[in-house]
Amino acid sequence: MTGVDLAAEFIVEAKASAAGAGLEAEFLEQEMRAIDAAAEFDGAFCFGNSFGYLGYQGDGAFLAAVSRALKPGRRFALDSGLAAESLLPKLENRRWLQLGDILYLSVNRYEAAESRLDTQYTFIRDGRSETRDASYHIYTLAELRRMLAAAGLRAVEYYGGFDRRPYELGSGRLLLVAEKE
């Protein structure tokens, strides 16, 4: 198993978790578009909303890298809560959440002409606050299917959750399975 992440702290955490579980795995601190394997892997996945940060060309480059890395006939699973059919029907402009001792605020602005969601996150703990900005490209399922096809991956299954319920408008997340042609 090989894991890729740009954040050094996540690589350290993944190595420790794998070692603690007695698993052999390699973890690479690199940009996900930089995967340079050729027909080497039996499967791949991208979970936890890691997709959509790179814009149309960047996300396409990532899918092309995944496709190159997979052996023919092998599968890629993409998990996203940011597909248009999932996100837009329920998008809140402002949302407060309490996560343990952290108060969390997200302020969203959807730029329809760009199909982009700009979000400002504020975390408040012990009277101190920290704010971060993020932008995500929002794709419809049809756009994702076209992007996958351009990368040599054929979308074969779509689910609205890990229980394999059908994906539909308003599903909380998209679990998409594609196969390397």
Q: Provide the pLDDT for residue 96.
A: 97
Beta-strand ranges (E) seen in the chain are 2-5, 26-29, 41-46, 70-80, 94-99, 102-111, 116-125, 128-137, 153-159, 174-180
Locate all alpha helices (DSSP H) within the chain, ordered by sequence: 8-20, 55-69, 84-87, 141-150
Let me know if 110 is exposed, middle or buried by CB neighbors in 10 A (0-12, 13-18, 19+): middle
pLDDT higher than 80, residue 49:
no
* Alpha-carbon gap, residue 50 to 32, rounded angstroms: 10
Residues 6+ positions from 15 with CB-CB distance below 8 Å? 25, 27
Convert the pLDDT of each residue in 67-86 to its tens digit. Answer: 999 999 999 999 999 999 99
Distance CA 160, CA 21 (A): 30
Average pLDDT over residues 35-48: 91
Q: Which one-letter DSSP state was computed for residue 52?
A: S
pLDDT in tens, 110-169: 999 999 999 999 999 999 999 999 999 999 999 999 999 999 999 999 999 999 999 999
Helix (H, G, I), strand (E, B) or coil at 46: strand
List of domains in the chain = 2-84+138-180 (3.40.50.150), 87-136 (2.20.25)
DSSP state of 151: T
